[in-house]
Amino acid sequence: MSRWARWSIGVAALLGGSSLLFTANHPIPRLEAAIIIAVFGLVVVACFSRIGRPVAVRIIGAAVSFTYFSYLLISVDSYYSRRLAVDFGVKPWGVFLLAFAGFLLWGVPGLYVMITGKFPWWWRKRSNKVNNEGKT
């Protein structure tokens, strides 16, 4: 992951955690807010340190896969799928298809990143470095 990407994610996590911490009107209970702030803090520390780079990649992969898995579970519930269908302007079964497609496209690779600590082969850039035999 490039330095620019890590710093962008770190700044976004810092702003998100601090906005949740300093809101006067707490939208969620204090225990859940403390857990979310702790995760944001881990992401911030991991993104801004050289030692934490593998940890940052795994935390981001876990967050992406968990988010899409939660979206998939929410889309199965009939009450929430009807509400999401109104918001997205699609039929209720279309919400499940969108959630399933999102989980396949982003959640499964995020799970791979969380487990292995590296991006799938189709996400990686080709190296322009030449090895000893003259091959790239």
Check whether residue 110 and residue 73 sit in a common domain.
yes
Which pLDDT belongs to residue 24?
62
Q: Is the separation of the CB atoms in 72 and 45 below 8 Å?
A: no
**Does residue 136 lie in a domain region?**
no
Which pLDDT belongs to residue 52?
73
Check whether residue 14 and residue 70 sit in a common domain.
no
Check whether residue 28 and residue 10 sit in a common domain.
yes
Check whether residue 96 and residue 110 sit in a common domain.
yes
**Does residue 130 lie in a domain region?**
no
Which pLDDT belongs to residue 103?
93
Check whether residue 44 and residue 68 sit in a common domain.
no
**Does residue 132 lie in a domain region?**
no
Is the entire prediction scored with pTM above 0.85?
A: no
Check whether residue 118 and residue 58 sit in a common domain.
yes
Check whether residue 6 and residue 24 sit in a common domain.
yes
Which pLDDT belongs to residue 100?
92
DSSP result, the chain: --HHHHHHHHHHHHHHHHHHHS-SS-SS-HHHHHHHHHHHHHHHHHHH-STTHHHHHHHHHHHHHHHHHHHHHHHHSHHHHHHHHHHHTS-HHHHHHHHHHHIIIIIHHHHHHHHHSS--TTTSPPP----TTS--
pLDDT tens over the chain, length 136 residues: 677 777 888 888 888 877 777 776 666 777 777 777 787 887 787 778 777 778 778 888 888 898 899 888 888 887 777 777 787 777 777 888 888 999 999 899 989 988 998 877 776 666 666 555 555 5
Q: How many residues does the chain have?
A: 136
Check whether residue 59 and residue 109 sit in a common domain.
yes
Check whether residue 18 and residue 59 sit in a common domain.
no
Which pLDDT belongs to residue 132?
57
Check whether residue 65 and residue 41 sit in a common domain.
no
**Does residue 64 lie in a domain region?**
yes
Please give the tally of structural domains in the chain: 2
**Does residue 133 lie in a domain region?**
no
Which pLDDT belongs to residue 128?
63
For 21, the domain range is 1-49
